[in-house]
């Protein structure tokens, strides 16, 4: 059922990597929302059992708990659980920025504060209408915050760098530069050959004497340096 309600979106990250994202449709997002409502209700129930024993002070704390649950529950979890509330985690969906990168505090706050507008005129009627009309199933909060709800992509196991002979860098590299080269090599499978060569070409001080490399000389040189840094000598 959900496959008929979800769509594919191609997003390009700031690094130029194209990601194929499966947008989460109304059905799966509704189920995730129901799970979150149940979790919030359970938390309120537990506090309602304990706080009345504290009298008026406990009643005041109860109102504070309800305020934070209503406004900040989704923001807290989206920021500390990679764009997922407990309900979204159960349904294996997450909130991302429209370019496929992780949601930030500002975007999460904005999209969740606008739930009040989405609720109008009653029970999320406006939000559901906008979501259904949007090809990416984005409600008003998503449109304003530049976010999108998608199925969580499975993390691919990073493959060892084995495509090039180890090559010692001819200049001294600090720890950050070394880590950048290793990260590039580990993410090579995410780039097209042309994009990989373009990125590698930015490391000009490391690209002297490339006549031994024929197809993608800059890429092969950085892979060789990465192998050297990883101790494959």
Q: Are 228 and 166 in contact (CB under 8 A)?
A: yes
**Choice between 12 and 32, residue whose per-residue pLDDT is larger:** 32
Report whether pLDDT(195) > 70. yes
The tokens 């780039």 sit on which residue? 191
Confidence of residue 181 (pLDDT cuts 50, 70, 90): confident
The domain spans of the chain are 2-151, 175-229
Average pLDDT, the chain: 82
How sure is the predictor about 4, in pLDDT bands with cuts at 50, 70 and 90? very low
3-state class (DSSP) for residue 95 = strand
Q: pLDDT of 63-78, one tens digit each?
A: 888 888 888 999 999 9
For residue 3, the model assigns a pLDDT of 39
Q: Shortest CA distance to 170 belongs to which of 145, 216, 134, 204?
A: 204
Query: Would the pLDDT of 206 be above 80?
Result: no
Q: Cα–Cα distance between 160 and 229 in angstroms, integer? A: 12
Long-range contacts of 152-158 (CB under 8 A, 24+ apart): 152/82, 152/84, 152/92, 152/93, 152/94, 153/19, 153/21, 156/189, 158/186
Q: Which residues pair with 18 in a beta bridge?
A: 12
Beta-ladder partners of 95:
149
> pLDDT tens for residues 210-230?
655 556 778 888 888 888 887
pLDDT of residue 104: 93
Q: What is the pLDDT of residues 71-97, one digit of tens each?
A: 899 999 999 998 999 999 999 999 999
């Amino acid at each position: 059922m959900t496959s008929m309600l979800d769509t594919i979106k191609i997003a390009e990250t700031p690094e130029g990597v194209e990601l194929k994202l499966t947008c989460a449709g109304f059905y799966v997002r509704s189920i995730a929302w129901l799970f979150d409502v149940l979790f919030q209700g359970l938390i309120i129930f537990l506090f309602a059992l304990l706080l009345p024993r504290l009298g008026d002070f406990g009643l005041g704390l109860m109102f504070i708990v309800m305020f934070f649950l209503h406004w900040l529950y989704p923001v807290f979890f989206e920021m500390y659980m990679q764009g997922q509330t407990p309900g979204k985690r159960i349904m294996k969906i997450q909130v991302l920025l429209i370019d496929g990168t992780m949601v930030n505090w500002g975007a999460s706050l904005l999209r969740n504060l606008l739930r009040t507008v989405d609720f109008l005129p009653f029970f999320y009627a406006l939000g559901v209408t906008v979501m259904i009309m949007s090809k990416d199933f984005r409600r008003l909060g998503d449109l304003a915050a530049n976010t999108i709800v998608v199925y969580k992509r499975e993390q691919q196991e990073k493959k060892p760098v084995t495509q090039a002979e180890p090559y010692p860098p001819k200049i001294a590299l600090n720890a950050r530069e070394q880590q950048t080269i290793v990260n590039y090599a580990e993410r090579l499978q995410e780039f097209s050959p042309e994009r990989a060569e373009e990125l590698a070409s930015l490391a000009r001080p490391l690209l002297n004497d490339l006549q031994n490399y024929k197809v993608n000389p800059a890429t092969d040189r950085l892979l060789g340096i990465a192998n050297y840094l990883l101790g494959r000598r």
